[in-house]
A and B are shown apart, each in its own frame.
Chain A
Amino acid sequence: MTGRRLLVAETVDDYAVALAAAVADGALGRWAPVLGGVPVPGAASLHEAVVAGEPIAPERWRELSELWYRWQAPRDHVSPMRWYFSALAAAAGLAPGGEEAAELVDRWLQEQEAAAPAERAARVRAILGVDGTAPLVAGCGDPLDALAGIAHAAVRGRPFVWFPDAGALAEALAAEGRGEAFVAAPSRAAASVRAATGEGAEASRGAPLAGAAHDGGGPLAREARDAWAAMEPGERDALLLRLHDAFAILGPVRVRAAGRALDNDSGRELVAACIGAPPAAWSHPQLVWATCLRLWQESAAGFTELNQADLALAELQAFLVHKRARYVRLLGAAEPAAAPASLVELAQAVATLREEVERDHVRCFAIDGGSWERREHFVPLRDVMAGPVPHEYTEHLERTVGVPLPEGPTEAARFDALVERMAARGVNPAEALVATAHFVVADEALDADYVVVTAARGVKLDRPWTLELTDVMSYTAIRPGCDPGPRGVRLGDVQIRTAISQRMRYNVTRRARNYSPDRDERLTAQPFQFPDVAAGEDAHHGGHRANGIRLVARAPFVLDLPGGKRWRGLADVRINRVSYKDADRFVFEDLPRLIRRSLWCRAIVEATYARGLCLDERYGNKQVAVPPWAARELAHA
């Protein structure tokens, strides 16, 4: 083995970490990672190597593990080229994940993306400072295979290019026309890596990185800087201020941009620093960040989808391209042949496509409360509206509010008639919302412990930003027989119901501030929400922890007012499970059922407003009594 050791990795993550560590520590001459599952007699395992203390120090392991994690966000996909270029930057002595390395790697990635397949190998050779005789290592497909290819290329000091598809790979190999070409596949990859452990292999450490000189951050950076510079200073500053203000109200943000860690405060400061400064003077992190915010606004993407990502312009482009392709698939349309000319046009195309998708789908998110990561999902509208209103619900309404759901030509007409009949009997429509909350909490298909229904009561709707706590109704139903005490919740039912509903009323008043004409008030608003399924909701929230808010599904609904106004953020239905078990998490398949029930609530509230009525003020109070019929059910349980 000529003094070289083999490193067996059990997983993709381990493999990548081991590889980068070997490159970064200059130990390529001694280490050759081998794909897990391939038996190699006498090989040290990755963990044995770690425990032995060399060559991967725990700190290094931590850094690389972090990078690997961040590079999977926001697409659950790591670009093999990003890993390869980062390893080259590390080999040149740049700190992995640092600003200098981030800018260089971003530039190389952009250049790869901009080049035709047949030209990409030449660009990598230019970076490595090797001539055309250095055989190309190339492949496409599963990143697992890419990692083996990267190892092979790095050990031999050869150029590596990973292609998006087999067609591009074939084009590149045809252009090579000679020499050795490595096409990655599990068995061949392992064989190639084994072959690379013989004498004569060249390590890439110390090789001149011909492309390392600063030239403006790559084609996307030039395009972005030019686009910002082309704007009138006043127009640019006004846009930056709007971006600053829109970002200010976002939920928790944790990202890295061009090697700089950013949260809500530092993100605001970074974009604020761009205001009044010419784009030519912006640092690379400033350019990436300002451009990121602009693309967010143009695409109307969920910004927090980027949480935990290590943002680069190339990654932002890939994120948008990925989104566009996904929307096109949802629409059943053909993939567009040509990419939009610029990042901004790409973002605008994404927004246009999403509008089309939303004609037949409900846009939703999955939320990880521990990391704030989000992933977008679309629920088909036909799934939401599938089937009639269950007769059990009609019977439940009759039993609880004294009026069954009347028949009618549409669901909205039926709820309108329900509210009419309730009003005629002197029963406030809020009782129908309360009854619905109890109906949902008894729904075995949703299997919720708590159900919370919240809606503006019907006052001050011409100026919703002036709403106060008592102007909002919120009611929490707890499943009969539910005892969260043994699951670590010390509060009793009354305290839980009071705390949750009080918080819901507060949230509505904060979201309503988005409509305020006063900028300072808007800056203290909460963002509007989409339907979502969330896990770990108590990870960063003491109130959630105390009340057992852990696994949640939410269905906010808009409210149409007489006269044509539509308000978002003033109403929703939420369900919660007091559990930490993975198997208890709500899934997207739960959302159609929940959203349908939220639409019943919406119809009740809108019918209330249409009659000039308000939801009962006692549901805007801190202490809300359980209705007598519900109290009897609870006592029975």
Chain B
Amino acid sequence: MPDGRDGVLVCRLDGVVCAVQSVCPHRGAPLAEGTLHGAVLTCPWHGASFDVRTGRRLRGPECADLRRYAADGTAWVER
């Protein structure tokens, strides 16, 4: 990322692209190694789960919501 942050995790949800931060805000796990079930992304380390459409944490260890990104030409910008 241009601002030095970690990367972006992009997934397609019934044809709609969702982009969120790629590391878990709880302990920094690589979310790309987690599981996506419907709109619910679950962290592979401690089971925190997030709604990739909103970035909101659904359950699991308390932590911040996921940052969401949108494509702006050739770059991802935080929403």
Interface residues on B, range: 20 to 34
Interface residues on A, range: 20 to 34
Inter-chain contacts of A11 with B (CB < 8 A): 37-38
* Contact between A370 and B58, CB atoms less than 8 A apart: no
Bound complex: CA A47 to CA B11 (Å): 13
Instruction: Pick the interface stretch among B2-10, B47-55, B70-78.
Output: B47-55
Q: Is A421 an interface residue (CB 8 A)?
A: no
Contact residue among A46, A58, A69, A371 (Cβ-Cβ distance under 8 Å from B51): A58
B76 to chain A, nearest CB (A): 20
* Contact between B59 and A545, CB atoms less than 8 A apart: no
Q: Which chain B residues (6-45) contact chain A, with CB distance < 8 Å?
A: 13-16, 26-27, 29, 37-40, 44-45
* Contact between A61 and B45, CB atoms less than 8 A apart: no
Q: Is A45 an interface residue (CB 8 A)?
A: yes
* Contact between A580 and B45, CB atoms less than 8 A apart: yes
Contact residue among A10, A51, A61, A580 (Cβ-Cβ distance under 8 Å from B44): A580
Given A50-B39, A580-B45: A66 in contact with B59 (beta carbons within 8 A): yes
Inter-chain contacts of A46 with B (CB < 8 A): 38
Bound complex: CA A14 to CA B40 (Å): 11
Bound complex: CA A368 to CA B45 (Å): 11
Bound complex: CA A62 to CA B59 (Å): 9
Inter-chain contacts of A380 with B (CB < 8 A): none
Bound complex: CA A539 to CA B13 (Å): 28
Q: Which of A13, A538, A580 has the most CB of B within 10 A?
A: A580
Which B positions have Cβ atoms within 8 angstroms of A?
Answer: 13-16, 26-27, 29, 37-40, 44-48, 51, 53-54, 56, 58-61
Inter-chain contacts of B38 with A (CB < 8 A): 10-11, 13-14, 46-47
Residue of A at shortest CB range from B60? A370
Q: Is A540 an interface residue (CB 8 A)?
A: yes
Residue of A at shortest CB range from B62? A540
Q: Which of B15, B16, B39, B48 has the most CB of A within 10 A?
A: B39
* Contact between A51 and B14, CB atoms less than 8 A apart: yes
* Contact between B46 and A62, CB atoms less than 8 A apart: no
Residue of B at shortest CB range from A69? B59
Bound complex: CA A47 to CA B15 (Å): 10
Q: Is A621 an interface residue (CB 8 A)?
A: no
Contact residue among A51, A66, A545, A580 (Cβ-Cβ distance under 8 Å from B53): A51
Which A positions have Cβ atoms within 8 angstroms of B?
Answer: 10-11, 13-14, 45-48, 50-51, 58, 61-62, 65-66, 69, 368-371, 536, 538-540, 545, 580, 582
Bound complex: CA A370 to CA B12 (Å): 27
Contacts A10-B38, A58-B53, A370-B61 aside, 13 further interface pairs with beta carbons under 8 A come to: A13-B38, A47-B14, A47-B38, A51-B53, A58-B54, A62-B56, A65-B59, A66-B59, A371-B60, A538-B27, A538-B46, A540-B61, A580-B45
Given A45-B14, A62-B58: A536 in contact with B53 (beta carbons within 8 A): no
Bound complex: CA A169 to CA B27 (Å): 49
Inter-chain contacts of A62 with B (CB < 8 A): 51, 56, 58
Inter-chain contacts of A539 with B (CB < 8 A): 26-27, 45-47, 61
Given A58-B53, A539-B26: A47 in contact with B39 (beta carbons within 8 A): yes
Bound complex: CA A342 to CA B61 (Å): 37
Residue of B at shortest CB range from A539? B46
A6 to chain B, nearest CB (A): 15
Bound complex: CA A66 to CA B57 (Å): 11
Contact residue among A58, A61, A65, A370 (Cβ-Cβ distance under 8 Å from B46): A370
Bound complex: CA A10 to CA B38 (Å): 9
Inter-chain contacts of A13 with B (CB < 8 A): 37-38
Bound complex: CA A318 to CA B58 (Å): 27
Inter-chain contacts of B14 with A (CB < 8 A): 45, 47-48, 51
Inter-chain contacts of B26 with A (CB < 8 A): 539
Given A45-B14, A58-B54: A545 in contact with B27 (beta carbons within 8 A): yes
B19 to chain A, nearest CB (A): 14
Q: Which of B40, B46, B48 has the most CB of A within 10 A?
A: B46
Bound complex: CA A297 to CA B61 (Å): 28
Inter-chain contacts of A47 with B (CB < 8 A): 13-14, 38-39
